[in-house]
Structure 1
Amino acid sequence: METIKIGVVGLGTVGTGVVKMLQAHQEKISEITGRKLELACVVVHNLKKHEQVDLGDVQMTDQIATLLDDPSIQIMVEVMGSIHPAKEYITQALQAGKHVVTANKDLIAQYGRELVQIARENHRDLFYEASVAGGIPILRTIDNSFAADRIQRVMGIVNGTTNYIMTQMLTKHWSYDQALSSAQDLGFAESDPTNDVEGLDAAFKMIILTQFAFGMSLSLDHVQVQGITKISPEDIAEAHQLGYTIKLLGIAEEIDDRIAVSVGPVLVSDQHPLATVQNENNAVMVTGTAVGNTMFYGPGAGELPTANSVLSDITTVAKNIALNTTGNTFNSYRQETVLATPEDVVYPHFIALKMRDVPGMMMKLTAIMTRAEVSFSRIIQNQLGDGNARVVIITHAMNDQQLADITREIGEQENMQLLASYKVLKNA
């Protein structure tokens, strides 16, 4: 049986899982691919940090040239993270005639098109299933299983850190800071959690999902992003009182051949399947014209779930090598990118306000809503005990431009303060 040699760059959580699974599942992979996979080397940034790691006969080095300059290594697996030098390493590997598998969502979201072009020019494979939703094979599913369907919307919980935090705030009534601290203690959140809690991690994943589902290429500037740092226990309690759970959702939807992509807190009906996704788990719901709603659920991160997606890509590359069919693009769907306007994006909204509890204030609020041509669906008012009241509104469906008009007018009022504004999921 012919041997395919593999070099791994990075030995963190995911890299360690890839090495374990490569060594443990050799026999099964060989049966599937008709090739023996051999781990030739592991490249790390700091050798001293990994002195206690036993890789057997596998070479560990801090020199990327060891991998790039070895013509016998056919596949490079990049699991080091960050944009640089990962982009340069992948580029050099492709140009050196090596196939590449990566889990680097930030890199693929920002430079995926460029790297795909380099792979195509060099007739090499570039796969990145593990870049979105950890152990859920969502990219390959969209590419293969929905090839004949017209996708209308892709949405879901694509960041396990924020979902864990929101779960604890709901079920244990913790503050945001308490829930974040717990997530960090358990290893779900980094010491600097900015990318997760500000929605950037989810936004990069939605950019990749948008390319697969709609064939449109976006930059981060095209995504409306709001994190979870300003969500209060009061928001969560009042949403729950109204029959909703707040989730950080990524939503990509096609509206009259235009695309709208957002990441932010959304009120999801307690009866909706996404409301039941707890802790660090992820779920992606795909809506197609033919198939309707389908949901894919599983662990969104972690050593072995993510490594399993990496191994899936490695297996695909090995099959392509065996069949001499390498050089095909992971996803070849291409459409002109046309962005939706604020008037196109229509949702009901949850709006929380702090208002001076004096006569006439509710009439002022009603006048603001009337000028924006928006009506109330539900209203809750609670006294704050300092001469102010907290007013919570669920509106009927309105577009983003109407929301912007309402937000601007509220900001101009002396005794009225906007505390929160979140979408309410349609078709819940």
Structure 2
Amino acid sequence: MRGWGVALLFALAGVLIAVGVVALILYFSTRPQPFQVPLWRDPQSLVDYTKIDPALAVAGLGGVADKDLVAQALTEGRLDTAFAILVFSPSIDDRESAGDFLLLADRYRKDGRNESAVHSYRLAGTIATLSPDLPDTVRADTFILAGEGLATLGEYGLAQLYLDQAYNVATASAYLQPATRRSLFQRLHKGYQMIGDRERARVSLESSAQTFAPVTVPELPPVLPVADPPPLPLEVQQAEAQRWSAAQNLVEQLIVRGGRAPQQLVSALASALIAEDRARLPYYDAQIASAVQLSAQISIVQARINWLAIKYRIARQGYGLSLVPEWEAQAEMIRADLTKSYELLFALYADLIVAMPDADQIERATEEILRREILAGTLGRYPNYPAQQRIAQLQQATAQLIQSRPRDKMRVAVLPYAGVDSFVLVDDTSFLAIMHD
């Protein structure tokens, strides 16, 4: 009898803790926000094209990977070059992008460029919220780092937005080990103190003293893999090699001449780019039409998007100088082509998901791809994406997942912070409460 009594006490304690957790998450998700939150701005509109280092940026056209260029730009203090690469490039994965935006924000803040720092912190936090590809430990760490940085800048509204999300993850995630969870609450205690929120600082400190059960269930990876680049025919490979060579020659002279280069080398790179474009796009279009497997079509369309992103960046002088005036005059047409390619990409993903044999996979993949689409649109890489329609579909898909896989993961909801609709991560109960509010 005594054993049953002890077990009953533990069970009751578990229920009380669960009720308390739900109440706290509802409080943190739906309470009034006393601070201001600036409106969201298209990240590409924030790029200062006059401050891009052309020698470093054009190296990306010479075969250097975007992620390596960002690292080099941060090392050399070419912050606007790093920002431009991160904003335009769809080839850097979400985890690396979020981390790089945090590093960039810290550098902007130390240089006294507070507005640019705020935008970079916000981009890191947005990726942490929307990306389906990050583990909860990375999300929470990103939220806290963004919140701390924003609090230092006096942007208490945005700091609260990300500290609250870190709190939600620390409280509700099923995949955090006890030491990680306690550390998050301790950091949240300090973060809330930074924005003068004594009550939430107290709650976080009390939570850090709790005993948490060890986690034995691993966090599931995404259902949908990242598309692999398709093989290229010899003609496209040769055109790419010629572009790399022309870009490398231009970079060499840009370095030697302090950012100025002979027009002859600029024209040579322009000719190589146009020739490559004339080889790539017809090849991609022919392959899309002839490919039988959906996965192959998706890979080709993603490659087409990656090329159009380069082309559009050139059209916007996103490499720090005018390279192809013809494309600059066609910037809106290129942008429209980019939009159509994204539309096709996500339509193909929808077809791929419908063909999955398992209902559980279909539901999870549907939520994943909607988050990826919304993230691409929010970051400005997918121009004119149907925001309201996709957000409504995501809410519907999330509600379905809550029924079939309760407490499986954090959910994306839309919540007004200081009157500005913001994407936030919440638990199941909070999501349903927000939906029915």
Q: Please report the TM-score for the alignment, with normalisation by the length of structure 1.
A: 0.24
Structure ranking higher in helix proportion: 2
Structure ranking higher in strand proportion: 1
